[in-house]
Structure 1
Amino acid sequence: MSPFNLFEAVGAIRGELRHSNFLAYLLSPSRPHGLGARPLAALIRSILSRMDVKDRPIMALELIAGDLDDAIVYRERDSIDILVELPSLKLVVAIENKVGSKAGDGQLKRYDERLKVSYPDHRRLMVFLTPESTLPDHDGYVAYDYSDVVTTMESLISDELEPVPTETKLIIQHYVDMVRRHIVQDEQLRTLAVTLYERHKEAFEFIFDCRPEPNSVLTVVRGCVQSVQGLVVDSSGSNMFRFTVEAWDEKLKVIKGDPAKWSKTGRGLLFEVKTYPNTPGRLNVSLILGPGDPEMRQKVYAAAGTDTKLFKGLVKPMGAQWVTIFSRDLLTANQAKGMTFEQQEFNVRAAWSDFQGGQLGSLITAIIELDELLNQGSAAPVGPTA
């Protein structure tokens, strides 16, 4: 865990822009990394291997026989993270990179439509790159993950038949090590960690109990949620956590989610509390309708749309996989400016108390009533909730 790592030193662990910059540099045959088109060819072959043969826009043999040296790699062209144009193969590869966030509603569809206009005569390979091969909300994309990226890179620098320049090999190895430590789960590191824990369980638990709590308003709200009987934390990340309602787990019969695409519990609705790295100070609580039966999702969304007094912040149009049907800032960026952490904590607790006493109970009741209507076969939306 301790060796020097260049990417950790410059703070490029979870920054999407820096990951995209490095990958774009490596994929460009014209860059002076000494690898030519080998990284680009290897990555495309790896992506194609994740697809059914009938869905592949190009055959692997055609890729091997083709000339990739004329490839042009763009960053943020038409807002696409990495765009690779291969004129000789009449192929364009679009990579949407998400390290610590998710794609916006309709974002992938918009990019696909732009490329159809910009490259009408080209075949298209659309890639959704995430740490855990998250399924895209657009059928034109193939899910791809960082573990495959680093495996492909390792195969390049370990090929004895085609030596890699020493400097390039070192940098790629640093990148691979950083990704495995921080982005994807490395089984070797996990095994070592488990072994250490088993040998020194009491010491680790004592250290964990003595750890200082970070000054985070997200931690403040998490504590507020856990102190409310009937609320349960579902999952969490570096800048957010999701929670649900025990009564929903017990009573919801129709409003269910797809466990393969979102919460493994099969919950279709989750509250999400989130901070925003690009908007320091902002803290938001939202109610998210996740992937599930399309007809059910449409009815829930339509019902929320009839009661805008309760379901404030409903996002339009409805996303194919996720959509926010309620949103409220517990602290805005403007409010947080100039505040000490203690002042921010005071305001967040006050906002949570107002949300809990005013809107949370009404939202819980409205969802239960709607599920009962759907279970009875009625498509009628719930009425305004007091």
Structure 2
Amino acid sequence: MDDIPLRISELIMEDADFQNLEKSLDIFCPFEAVGMVSAEIRHSNFLSYILNPNRPHGFKGALLRTFLMSAMRIGHEKGLSAGLTPLDIHLMDMEVVEVRREWRNIDLLLIAPTSKLVVAVELKIDASQSKGQLTGYRRVVHEQWPDIAWRKIFIFLTKHDEMPDDLQWLPMPLSLVIEAFKGYISQPELNQATLPHQMLSAYCAMAERHHMENRDLVQLANAIWSRHEQALTFLISHQPDIWGPIHRALLDRVHEIPETANRQSPLTLQRDHDTSRITRFAIVEWDTIPGMLTAHEWTPTNRLLLYELKFESNGVSGYLYMGRGGGKERDSILNALGAIRKSKKLTAGWTRLESRLLLSAADASNADPDEAVEQIISGFKAYILESASRTNALLSTLQPVDHLHAPAS
């Protein structure tokens, strides 16, 4: 321990990779400053503005064309392009496209009247789709434009590799949009000194830092860790607690999670046993599954399947865990959950079945505690509603359906 100050000094003052990493991250970003990183509403607001050809950003319809061409390349491969090709998009008159925000709760709606095309876009950053959400949106679009002459395209734009529940929606990664935008603004004939150009560049850089893997930065981090593991381990173990205020604020509102979830699901979510930074929840209907109440040394309820809302050093995440135990009944439950189980090997130890990051440490450091709690609660509730429905369908093979479905409230 006596040489820790020297090792920290070498890391900060002498390591060229550390200095390059610091320069890459130590930049002003207006989108981070306004708390936009994980705020889907603000992402949608910016995208609706920048894609709108009638806004005074100077891009006219170029970014909208770039966005739609990227989508159609995927859509053509998956058979979800409504018969459109990238060439059709290239020839389309973008100047007359109307961009609507939150029409009938749809994040973005693009209407091209001369081409008789409607494009619905649903954006998900760290939240997830609600049960029936996408099908409902698709239905209202068809009701508003019932004429078969109007082509309809539905784009599910996500940070995570999440498949839409409604298979008529085209899954599109946010990273593809960012790469397309970067390709457009890097053209040498564009004036890169204009404010709109700089703002779009800053947005793409922010998305890369927080929502995409930057291979160059990962390589720098690996090189730094290989040379300064002892100093970095010491610094991590003594880092300030950014989670304390957020966790305390969350505890005052954690009761809202089962209250609101139970109004939206036929299943009953119940709070289970908590520890210092972990809040656990159970689905009551699963208690009657043979062997479900046989967990070893976990919580007083002995439930094998529990959802956890967990505060960790790198972020706040939602998990679905299988507790420790043994026997054929536990193995039967694990086998039934094979479609979501990450490891195909059956073990008697704790098994993590699913996980979803709700708030990263980087985002939390810039967030207001109340806004952070709101994001955690809404994200965790959406995750549980989606996961519990999927998991419940898998567990239905273990006992009669009437034991697995509670009456609708």
Whether these two folds match at TM > 0.5 is yes
Residue-by-residue CA offset, 1:90-118 (whole Å, 9 max, x unaligned): 11111111112111100000000110111
* Partner AA of 2:81 in structure 1: R
Question: Mind listing any 5+ residue stretches in structure 1 that lack a counterpart?
Answer: 309-313, 318-386
In structure 2, the partner of 1:22 is: 46
Question: Does 1:228 pair with 2:298?
Answer: yes
Give the Cα separation in 2 of the matches to 1:174 and 1:63.
27
Which one scores higher on RCO, CA 8 angstroms, separation ≥ 6?
2
Bigger shift: residues 12-21 or 236-245: 236-245
SS for the counterpart of 1:144 is strand
Q: 1:13 aligns with which of 14, 34, 37?
A: 37
* Partner AA of 2:52 in structure 1: S
In structure 1, the partner of 2:70 is: 46
Question: Does 1:127 pair with 2:189?
Answer: no
Q: 1:181 aligns with which of 209, 217, 221?
A: 209
* Partner AA of 1:252 in structure 2: I
Question: Does 1:200 pair with 2:228?
Answer: yes
Name the TM-score, length of structure 2 as normaliser: 0.65
Tell me if the contact between 2:125 and 2:160 (Cα under 8 Å) persists in the aligned partners: no
Q: 1:246 aligns with which of 324, 329, 338?
A: 324
- Relative distance call for 1:100 and 1:316 in structure 2 (3 A) is farther
Compute the displacement of 1:223 (Å).
4.8
In structure 2, the partner of 1:117 is: 143
Question: Does 1:306 pair with 2:384?
Answer: no
In structure 2, the partner of 1:373 is: none
Tell me if the contact between 1:5 and 1:178 (Cα under 8 Å) persists in the aligned partners: yes
Question: Does 1:256 pair with 2:337?
Answer: yes
Tell me if the contact between 1:234 and 1:241 (Cα under 8 Å) persists in the aligned partners: yes
Tell me if the contact between 2:317 and 2:355 (Cα under 8 Å) persists in the aligned partners: no
- Relative distance call for 1:84 and 1:283 in structure 2 (3 A) is closer
Give the Cα separation in 2 of the matches to 1:160 and 1:19.
27
Alignment of 1:87-106 (within 5 A): 87-106=113-132
Tell me if the contact between 2:156 and 2:171 (Cα under 8 Å) persists in the aligned partners: yes
In structure 2, the partner of 1:277 is: 374
Compute the displacement of 1:44 (Å).
0.8
Question: Does 1:68 pair with 2:94?
Answer: yes
Which has the larger share of helix?
2
Give the Cα separation in 2 of the matches to 1:272 and 1:162.
39
Residue-by-residue CA offset, 1:307-352 (whole Å, 9 max, x unaligned): 67xxxxx5859xxxxxxxxxxxxxxxxxxxxxxxxxxxxxxxxxxx
Question: Does 1:4 pair with 2:101?
Answer: no
SS for the counterpart of 1:31 is coil
Tell me if the contact between 1:95 and 1:127 (Cα under 8 Å) persists in the aligned partners: yes
Give the Cα separation in 1 of the matches to 2:216 and 2:332.
42
> CA-atom RMSD, angstroms?
3.9
Give the Cα separation in 2 of the matches to 1:111 and 1:139.
13
Name the TM-score, length of structure 1 as normaliser: 0.68
- Relative distance call for 1:98 and 1:264 in structure 2 (3 A) is same
Compute the displacement of 1:291 (Å).
4.5
- Relative distance call for 1:207 and 1:9 in structure 2 (3 A) is same
Q: 2:59 aligns with which of 26, 32, 35?
A: 35
Residue-by-residue CA offset, 1:352-374 (whole Å, 9 max, x unaligned): xxxxxxxxxxxxxxxxxxxxxxx
SS for the counterpart of 2:172 is strand
Percent identity, aligned pairs only? 24
SS for the counterpart of 2:171 is strand
In structure 2, the partner of 1:82 is: 108
Alignment of 1:276-295 (within 5 A): 277=374, 288-289=387-388, 291=390
Number of corresponding residues? 307
Compute the displacement of 1:40 (Å).
0.6
Bigger shift: residues 141-150 or 217-226: 217-226
Q: 1:160 aligns with which of 188, 205, 221?
A: 188
Q: 2:343 aligns with which of 265, 270, 274?
A: 265
Compute the displacement of 1:132 (Å).
2.1
Bigger shift: residues 241-250 or 224-233: 224-233
Question: Mind listing any 5+ residue stretches in structure 2 that lack a counterpart?
Answer: 1-24, 251-273, 281-295, 345-350, 359-371
Tell me if the contact between 2:127 and 2:378 (Cα under 8 Å) persists in the aligned partners: no
